[in-house]
Copies of this chain bind each other. A is one copy, B any other.
Amino acid sequence: MSRAFNFCAGPATLPEAVLKQAQSEMLDWRGTGMSVMEMSHRSDEFVNIAETAEQDLRELAGISDDYAVLFMQGGASSQFATIPLNLLGDKTSADYVNTGIWSKKAIAEAKRYADVNVAASSEDTGFTTIPEQSVWNTRADAAYLHYTPNETIGGLEYDFIPDSGDVPLVADMSSTMLSRPVDVNKFGLIYAGAQKNIGPSGLVVVIIRKDLLGKARQQTPTMMNYQVIADNGSMYNTPATYSWYLAGLVFKWLKEQGGVQAMGEINARKARKLYDFIDGNDFYANPIDPRFRSWMNVPFTLADDALNSEFLKGADARGLLNLKGHRSVGGMRASIYNAMPEEGVDALIDYMAEFAKERG
């Protein structure tokens, strides 16, 4: 078929313009006679690709020189261990907020290294809301406060940035990075697996306030030591060069779209359209507290679960792909990251309306 609308939660759809450029440069990057994936990471050409990508990311996200930007490997899941190994320093405890499956994974891994305090949890609601910060049981001696701004599986997103006082705030932005303006200066560390809003899997971007570097526990694997990675410009070993290059193409594309301000407006509109349709149609439902509905991941159920496979089959036939919900949640999920065009959301709504009319 021609290009489909791919609602996968990650790895996720990429901008068609980015894929076309990568395609055209695949065998010969700008007259070098090589693919980017064949270049030495220490070559002038690749170093320029890498530095340009970092500069564009800094510009897009408003990252000051107080922060190091690292292009690492191993995905966000590796960061679940890397963070306590690097940030505990001479402290032993860390605060975590539990708002869904990804929070829980981060907590489970951190418990292997730290005295973890779950400062707040919405598990008793089935992760359909986010506890107000006023009831969080944070500790002043915590090495950091970790939260998950957007839960990819649950479809639950913070509409505020927690105030952590002097405690460094750490955020897993894998599924929300660059989707709207965020004040980076409120954070000690931001990390994001690339495969949702940045590029292909196999790359994880870490933005860390420089005063938090240099505190890695003695037994931290060198490849997980933020200070080492920062000192070596993310080239302590061979980085994931092709993924880094593709991320750079995505950053250029984002700038052409008007940056995160413009993306935030588009994403708000896409999400509002879809939630408005769901709320206005008895056949569909979304369980999340309206205030905390994710702009990026929209789970929804059909009035009759027995129709799920027919719904998915009809969607596939129209090129509306990967709408099946996560196995732990069931139902459907439409992930509508930056690279999902508004026409994709419109096409989905059209199909949902038609399906509800015929089968509802």
Residues of A in contact with B (beta carbons under 8 Å apart) = 1-4, 6, 8-14, 16, 19-20, 22-23, 26-28, 31-35, 37-41, 43, 73-78, 80-82, 85, 109, 112-113, 193, 195, 200-203, 218-219, 221-224, 236-243, 246, 319, 321-322
Assess the A81–B222 pair: CB atoms within 8 A.
Answer: yes
Smallest Cβ-Cβ distance to A78: which chain B residue: B223
State which of B33, B38, B203, B246 has its C-beta within 8 Å of the C-beta of A319. B33
Q: Which residues of B contact A12 (CB under 8 A)?
A: 38
State which of B8, B34, B76, B237 has its C-beta within 8 Å of the C-beta of A321. B34
Q: Which residues of B contact A321 (CB under 8 A)?
A: 32-34
Please, how many angstroms separate the alpha-carbon atoms of A20 and B28 in the complex?
11
Most buried by B among A19, A85, A109, A239: A19
Assess the B201–A41 pair: CB atoms within 8 A.
Answer: yes
Smallest Cβ-Cβ distance to A218: which chain B residue: B112
Assess the A202–B28 pair: CB atoms within 8 A.
Answer: no
Closest 8 CB pairs of A and B: A202-B240, A4-B33, A81-B221, A77-B237, A23-B26, A37-B200, A202-B202, A1-B33
Min C-beta distance of A103 to chain B, whole Å: 15
State which of B76, B80, B195 has its C-beta within 8 Å of the C-beta of A222. B80
Please, how many angstroms separate the alpha-carbon atoms of A3 and B38 in the complex?
11
Assess the B221–A39 pair: CB atoms within 8 A.
Answer: no
Q: How many copies does the complex hold?
A: 2
Q: Given A77-B237, A321-B34, are A19 and B26 neighbors across the interface (CB < 8 Å)?
A: yes
Assess the A78–B82 pair: CB atoms within 8 A.
Answer: no
Please, how many angstroms separate the alpha-carbon atoms of A40 and B85 in the complex?
30
Assess the B238–A10 pair: CB atoms within 8 A.
Answer: yes
Min C-beta distance of A222 to chain B, whole Å: 6
Assess the B8–A39 pair: CB atoms within 8 A.
Answer: yes
Assess the B27–A13 pair: CB atoms within 8 A.
Answer: no
Assess the B9–A40 pair: CB atoms within 8 A.
Answer: yes
Assess the B38–A109 pair: CB atoms within 8 A.
Answer: no
Please, how many angstroms separate the alpha-carbon atoms of A126 and B2 in the complex?
58
Assess the A242–B200 pair: CB atoms within 8 A.
Answer: yes
Please, how many angstroms separate the alpha-carbon atoms of A223 and B76 in the complex?
10
Min C-beta distance of A176 to chain B, whole Å: 16
Q: Which residues of B contact A80 (CB under 8 A)?
A: 222-223
Assess the B35–A27 pair: CB atoms within 8 A.
Answer: no
Smallest Cβ-Cβ distance to A75: which chain B residue: B237
Most buried by B among A77, A218, A236: A77
Q: Given A32-B1, A77-B222, A78-B221, are A239 and B201 neighbors across the interface (CB < 8 Å)?
A: yes
Q: Given A1-B28, A75-B73, A240-B243, are A38 and B23 neighbors across the interface (CB < 8 Å)?
A: no
